[in-house]
Structure 1
């Protein structure tokens, strides 16, 4: 069984628990340990799959098809490992599991209660994720004091008792605000938050203090005294230019020393040289370029978190600052695009803002501007080409017009072609989704084959509409080739009349890492730089 590091949050949300958890995981892995990481979300939704991107942000998809919290994306990017369904669960998933067990009679007629059944289910999921690991890091969503989070806090308290102090470590991330009028940092929010945690029965072993400015020794000593931790267990987490600086900042403060001492871990010195070089290129790049990001969820940029991070990865590896010009597809004009070196049209659902995305795609195609379309962006590329090159004026997706067939439901493809090899997931809403990683065969001689340098790739999906293959011959006669396929499904297209016009059905951003940027995003940014 692994050692446990539990990370809780205090005062308010969005302070960066996920980045702190991922940073500690990164350092432990670089120190030679086998590390797993888990996010426990107290909201009642079974998963984020049906939640609005404008409310919750991005839905991150794992290789095995789990729709998860966007923190899982940070975990994968910092750990450079593919996570699974077991790495994220919610209150809804826990209650669903317990109720299903009760209906099957697994509790032998017991009265089902929060304690021990709900709390026990939570603890069991954490223990399962800890198998065959050196360390399991568990992030508890929300903040201490939230009613919905109480069963999760009780679960980690019980695990602390079960495995003992030498095997469990509690880190509490909290806010130390700077009051500009008074000109000083205030520790009272942290003290109150720790007091609330203690009332639950958890005494933190470390305080990670989020702040706009450096704390100074006096404030650190005050936090240490009032919260009952050693001075070396008060860690600053100051606002940074890049989230990728956080592991380096933590390492400078020797964050692993008290953790290793408490848990009796044997660590080697982490080798962060290559990582430091890439972070330096994020902060001080020698080149720059600007791309137009034409989306429909611009009001909440967290909706595109993995994609913006993938662009940062590509920029760092090209020593380039990539300026993103955010363009709302409902309000776009041609003038918005004219100062950009490339155009990116990402995924999305629904008919809102579609005309603006089509305008951007047409502009890129007609003016030979480097273009990358993702998911819906690929589907709209086919619709734009059909209307304006093939002169099929009623070309559309059945998502927007039920009579249209340029883009149609994956169910229709399976029914028409009898292809039962296509793995899909049936949602509770009755739709068929393609979720998770799938194989894609790349056409030899294509631009994508040169980019990936492979005949076969695996990328992740989250969609339910597909390109209709009946137009394939017409596309290719006019210069739009199908450069990637999966069991007959059109996965990738390229316009051979342009220098770089590529669109893919999958989400390449989900597999991008700082040290290993996704090839198609890297190539797109490289073309924009040139």
Structure 2
């Protein structure tokens, strides 16, 4: 049976994280031996019918998106209906906004890339850009992410200029979302929704480290969830 993934974002063939996303999916598909189709869909084209066709969504790097509200609605639907959802880089950032608005009740939670002067910025510009950097992470030992990696540490690559506003960390920790990974300074880099088939966000870009010989474990786990393996 063929299953399909929607890659939500503004696809640009020359943008390295987008090329890496396509490649990583192929690496994991080959390793799993599964027939999984992936389609890029602009956030402006998201409709409620999206989930009639697609069994999982990957919120891709490359924000700002054309339609933030439609993106957040898709993330919410996936979270509330146990549909596999993977967010990397910009996708992670929008998963944070969706959570802040719809779970924690901060209806004015905002992303600095869209409105840098908003009064409630949950995603702010990083004091030091992480674009092009590799950094070590530490995972919560009992987290789903640690189980997927089979380890509590990893080194991953970043491609972002925005992250969680330090002033909002305490608020984010008040709800059910699990903070499952952080960098050496303790900054949040991985989140997951407990009990969900697959709802994981990473500020880093795991697809950038995937190879045909070693498909990235997070990408493979996402595809397994989509294929219900």
Aligned length: 223
Instruction: Name the CA shift for 1:515/1:349 in 2 (closer, same or farther; >3 Å).
Output: same
RMSD, aligned α-carbons = 1.7
- 1:488 to 2:179 alignment: no
Distance 2:55 2:160 in 1: 28
Whether the 8 Å contact between 2:10 and 2:65 is mirrored in structure 1 is no
CA contact (8 A) 2:111 2:122 kept: yes
> Would you say the 8 A contact 2:4–2:39 is kept in 1?
yes
Query: Aligned equivalents of 1:309 and 1:319: distance in 2?
Result: 15
Length-normalised TM-score, structure 1: 0.41
Q: Is residue 34 of structure 2 the alignment partner of residue 320 of structure 1?
A: yes
1:5-35 CA distances to partner (integer Å, 9 max, x unpaired)?
Answer: xxxxxxxxxxxxxxxxxxxxxxxxxxxxxxx
CA contact (8 A) 1:442 1:449 kept: yes
Match of 2:57 in 1: 343
Report if the CA contact (8 A) 2:43-2:65 is conserved: no
> TM-score, normalized by length of structure 2?
0.91
Q: Aligned pair 1:435/2:151, yes or no?
A: no
Higher relative contact order (CA 8 A, sep 6+): 2
**Partner Cα separation in structure 2 for residue 476 and residue 525 of structure 1:** 28
2-structure distance, mates of 1:470, 1:339: 39
Higher deviation after alignment, 331-340 or 444-453: 331-340
Q: Hey, what's the Cα distance between the residues in 2 that align with 1:505 and 1:337? A: 25
Please give the residue correspondences for 1:23-38 in structure 2 after superposition, counting only pairs within 5 Å: none
Q: Is the 8 A contact 2:9 2:65 kept in 1?
A: no
- C-alpha separation between the residues in 1 aligned to 2:13 and 2:132? 22
Whether the aligned pair in 2 keeps the contact of 1:351 and 1:400 (CA below 8 Å) is no
Instruction: Tell me which residue corresponds to 2:169.
Output: 472
Which one of 202, 208, 217 corresponds to residue 504 of structure 1? 202
Aligned equivalent of 1:446: 143
Q: Distance in 1 between matches of 2:45 and 2:13?
A: 16
Encode CA deviations 1:139-158: one digit per residue, 9 max, x unaligned: xxxxxxxxxxxxxxxxxxxx
Please identify which structure carries the higher helix content.
1
Alignment correspondent of 1:526: 224
Structure 2 stretches of 5 or more lacking a match?
none
* 1:383-433, Cα deviation, whole Å (9 max, x unpaired): 01111111101101111111332011111xxxxxxxxxxxx4xxxxxxx44
Q: Whole-Å Cα distance in 2 between the matches of residues 374 and 390 of structure 1?
A: 21
In structure 1, C-alpha distance between the alignment counterparts of 2:145 and 2:68, rounded to whole Å = 26
CA offset at residue 327 of structure 1?
Answer: 1.6
Equivalent residue in structure 2 for 1:407, among 100, 118, 123: 123
Q: Distance in 2 between matches of 1:495 and 1:470?
A: 22
